[in-house]
Structures are given as structure tokens and as C-alpha cells.
Chain A
Amino acid sequence: MNPHTLELTQAEKQFASNTIFHDLSFHVHQDEVLSIVGPSGSGKTTLLRTIAGLEGLSQGRIILNGKDVTRHKAHHRAISFVFQQPLLFPHMNVWENISYGAKLNKTHSHAKTEDLLRSVDLAGYETAYPFELSGGQKQRVALARSLAIEPSLLLLDEPFSSLDPTLRHGLRYWVRNLLKTKGITAVFVTHDHEEALLMGDRVAVFHEGTFQQIGKPDQIHEYPANPYVARFLGSHIILDDDRYAPLKACYVTTETPADSVLSLSGTADHITYHHGQRLGHLYLPHIHERIVLPIPLHVSPGEEIRINVPREHIQTFSKARYSE
């Protein structure tokens, strides 16, 4: 296992009497991408800002490459930050934007800027000003500018949120490949669980100021630690506070099934189509859950249905929040 690039121990942040996060401890390995996913307003951005040094911690320590940087100012930390907006400096062209940080920390070279421009597919745009670029191009310049300072850690705060869905999807794969090709250690924050699973080597589900679970995407997906994680990922039916079943094992019928399955009654509220499948948006009044499952052709909106869960697929929550 690679050594830790970033380590947070018992970190806490408060604004007046409002606790944003508390007792937060985690680490990021070298060359690893950690995705932090959680609902909007859960404090993910504040967490990144404290790591970057834009906000101070109320308690706890931040260790970067084995060095305690808790009290260091932002411009003294080897950390780069890509914000939600590209924030390109409007009075500088693309070349000047990319080389800005590198010139400040005296690592600038013509070849490096050229290489970065090629990496972000913007060769030929050196003299263009930010207002002449599209949203996706601006975000790629912002990424190149962050990489130009050769940071030990790159923080990305929902960098695709201001882009349209098509561009956003394309850019996800592209950024993931770039991070992996260049061996960059990164923390990626998003509110989209699909994006988190796609971008991260490990995924951390953040809610109520703490991590509900950290682990590899498959692990989190297969063995959610608690109902919140399962509900957030949307791939399970939560039967109660202790038990769940994967949606892939459930099926919808209109008749009462055999005793070997747990059958729950519900209604098909809406029908949509996705990935070539007919999907029913189902409401289960007994457990107050809404789920989405493939449904047979003859089921129409508003119809009573039964969701059948084979008993052998019913599992209990792992409760283990941290795993490598």
C-alpha cells in the first residue's frame, strides 16, 4: 500500500455554535483518488476548504506528506484546489492562467505549460482569453492551472456542476484518466453518487458532519454500513434499521408469490425508461420507501403491485464504517 499523502485526525470545524463536522479522521494514499459524496449543504466544501487552508480547523490536525500543516496558510501548502466555477483570471490569457502558479513557486517552464495544454486538449488556445472559451474548456484550463504547480494533493470541489449533462459525462471520464495517467493524489467532492463511484478509488459517504462509510466502490455498494448509505446509493431496498436487500435480487409481480419470498405491497407511481429498461417508480407504504425497479410491460401507472424479495438475499447492515 502506498504511503499516506494526506491524513486528517479528529478534525472538527465549527462556525459559532454550528458544528459542520466533528471527530473526522481519514487518510488518502499516494496516487489515490478519494471521492467524498454527500447531499448539498452537508459540509463537504467546508471540509475541502479546511484541507486547503482557506478555513482554519476548530480542532484536529492535518498532515500532508508526513508534515503537520494545520497552521500553515493556503499559499504555504502544496495543495491545489479546483472550485465549482473555473475562476480563470479574466485579465490573463490561457497560457498566463496556466503558468501563473508555477511562476509563483518558481517551477515554471515553457515545456511544462505546453505539455499541460496538450494534456487538456487545448493546444492552440494559448492566447485565448477566458471569455473566449466554453464552460468545459474553462474547467480544463482550471485543471491544468492546478496541476502546473505540481501539488502533492489536488482537491476538486464539484468541478463539473456548472456544466451541462452531456459535457459533464464526457469530462468525468477524461478527468479520471488524466488523474490516473499523471499519478495524482486527489480528493474529489460531489453530491452525485454515480460520479463518486466513477471517479474514486475509494468512496466516502459524508452526512451529518461525519463519514457514514469509507471504502472501495464495490464494497460500499455491496455492503452498505447503514440505512443512510444504502438509501443514498439507491441500489437497495431498506426493510428496517438493520436489514436490507439488493434491488437486483428483487422483482415486481401483480400476484401473491410463494412463501420463500418476502412480499411487500406497493403502487407504481410513475414509469420511465432508462438504459433500455422500463422502470417503475414504486412506493411501499409499509416501510415508507420509494424505489425504482424494472417492471413488467403489463403494469401501468397507479396499479397495485407486489415487490418480492427472496429471503436468502436479505442482509444485515455491516456497521463497519471504515475499510481499506
Chain B
Amino acid sequence: MLIGSLVVLVNLIVGGMTGKALALYDFKGKSVLETLFLAPILIPIILLAMGAHLAMIRLDLAGTWVGIAIIHLIPTLPYSIRIMTNGYHQIGRLWLEQSEILGASPVKKLLTIELPLLKPAIRSLVFLVIVISLSQYAITAIIGGGEVLTLALVFFPFLDTADTSVLAAFSLWFALVPLIMYILAETFLSYLPYHGKRWRKHI
């Protein structure tokens, strides 16, 4: 849960900032950068984990939950960047400029315009990232070295079991964690200003 929360948080921040830059700014080498951001999901993750493992050992992060959270960014960030790029594409530049003209500082603009309008993207991101993070067995085992236990690691030895009650228990756990994350995300989003009347909104 802790690893999942950290992965979601980093994905929101990095994915949001990268997505904003890709959607709203023009710069040299933008298309190359976009392709590079997608690269981690085009290369076999085991291959990346092997190389990352050596780096983690040098950095003393192997076998720690922070190390696992970092390695979980590899299969999740490309999706987050894509989701947030699309989210910012839909908002466009003009609404943000309009709020700036009306006196909004960058922080106010983020809280009153960007985050409320990015709600659908944030919901998708949270769900997708937590589900991907939960499902990582191989890279968690490599980087964690069996010292840090995640749901996938606990579940793995029971893969060949025919015990329906064990499977049901694991299924429930796997459903429960994304649900808790969703509730947490919704609670955070409900604290944003200007959430209006849900049933009348067409965004």
C-alpha cells in the first residue's frame, strides 16, 4: 500500500508536469522526447530490471521499498505521461491563460483550474498505476530480493493452488487496494475548490 501510494504520487507529479510540457509547449526534439517517454513499455521490463538492479545495489536501494517504488515507475510512468498529456490537450492553453489574466498565480491556477479539469485523467491514472504496480512480480522480486513483500510476492506461491477460498481471498485483496486508492483519490479531489454539482456537470 505504501509502495503503491508512493508510485501513484510520483506518477501524478512527474506525469502531470511532463504531460503539461508535452501538451502545451513547443520545443525542439519534442517528438523524439515523446517516443523516448514511451520506450520503457517497448523494451522487455526484465531487461531494464537487470540493469536497474546493479544501479540499485550501488545506490544501496536494492532490497528496500523505495527501490521497489522506483522500479515500479518504469512500467507505469509511460502510461501516466500519456494520460496527462491527453488531459492537458483537452484543457488547452486558453483556460489557463484566462485564469492567469484574472490574477491567478501558478499555484492558484493549479488548484482552481488545472486539477479540477484534470479530474477524469487523475482518476484514470490512479487506477491504472495502482493496478500495474500491484501486478509486478518479476521486477519486485529482482529489486526486493524477497526482503520486501508485496501482494504479488505473497500471491505467487499459491498460483498453482486449487483452493477456491485462498483464490477468493487474494482476489478480494487485489480488488480492495485499488478501491482504497480510489477512495483516497476521490477524497483528495473533493477538497479542490469549485467542484460544483456533480449531476449538472458536463465535463
Can you report 11 A-B residue pairs in the complex whose CB atoms are below 8 A from each other?
A54-B101, A83-B94, A87-B95, A89-B95, A89-B194, A92-B196, A96-B196, A100-B99, A101-B102, A104-B104, A146-B101
Query: Which residues of the other chain, B, contact A129 by a CB distance below 8 angstroms?
Result: 196, 200-202
Q: Please report B residues at the A interface, Cβ cutoff 8 Å.
A: 94-95, 97-105, 108, 112-113, 116-117, 194-196, 200-203
A145 in the interface (beta carbon within 8 A): yes
Contact at A90–B98, with CB atoms within 8 Å?
no
CB-based A-B contact count at 8 angstroms: 70
- Whole-angstrom CA separation of A75 from B203 in the bound complex: 26
A42 in the interface (beta carbon within 8 A): no
* Smallest CB gap from A142: residue in B: B98
Q: Chain B contact residues: over half helix, strand or loop, or mixed? A: helix
* Chain A interfacial residues counted at CB < 8 A: 26
Q: Please report A residues at the B interface, Cβ cutoff 8 Å.
A: 52, 54, 73-75, 79-81, 83, 85, 87, 89-93, 96, 100-101, 104-105, 129, 131, 145-146, 149
How far does the Cβ of B199 sit from chain A's closest Cβ, in whole Å? 11
Contact at B94–A74, with CB atoms within 8 Å?
no
- Whole-angstrom CA separation of A80 from B102 in the bound complex: 7
How far does the Cβ of A130 sit from chain B's closest Cβ, in whole Å? 9
Query: Which residues of the other chain, B, contact A80 by a CB distance below 8 angstroms?
Result: 101-102
- Whole-angstrom CA separation of A239 from B94 in the bound complex: 45
Query: Which residues of the other chain, A, contact B99 by a CB distance below 8 angstroms?
Result: 89, 100
Contact at A104–B202, with CB atoms within 8 Å?
no
* Smallest CB gap from B92: residue in A: A87
Contact at A92–B202, with CB atoms within 8 Å?
no
Query: Which residues of the other chain, A, contact B97 by a CB distance below 8 angstroms?
Result: 54, 74, 81
Contact at A75–B98, with CB atoms within 8 Å?
no
